[in-house]
Amino acid sequence: MTETPAPWGTLRMRPYAATTEVPRCTPVIDPETQIAVIVNEYGRTVELGAHGTSTSGLTPTTTTPGDGSGPGGATDADSTESYDQDESSD
């Protein structure tokens, strides 16, 4: 009777590295402000750091040659992207 060898991947397995426990936090809605806040296991609000907001937009531009009195040549079109980052306090 022949023995089936162990699958290749199981020969490479090792125990997991030591881990640390992460405190449990829960997102809830503040009834007064209707904004999500994070609450720790003791019921206290936790600050997760400042997160800014940003906006971006694509503005198309077109140029047409000539003075408009008659047909005038080729047109050219391109776009410019703008990006605004709000300042966030640390």
Per-residue pLDDT of 32-67, as tens digits, reads 989 888 898 898 988 877 666 666 666 777 766 666
> Residue 7: its pLDDT value, please?
87
Cβ contact 63:76 at 8 Å:
yes
Q: What's the CA gap between 5 and 7, in Å, rounded?
A: 6
Instruction: Answer whether 0.75 is exceeded by the pTM.
Output: no
Residues in a beta bridge with 56: 83
The domains of the chain are located at: 22-47
Which DSSP string do the residues of 70-86 spell out, in sequence order?
S--S--EEEEEEEEEE-
Dihedral, 67, 68, 70, 72 alpha carbons, nearest 10 = 70
Q: Considering the chain, what is the average pLDDT of its residues?
A: 76
> Residue 67: its pLDDT value, please?
61
State the first-to-last Cα distance of the chain, in angstroms, to the nearest integer: 69
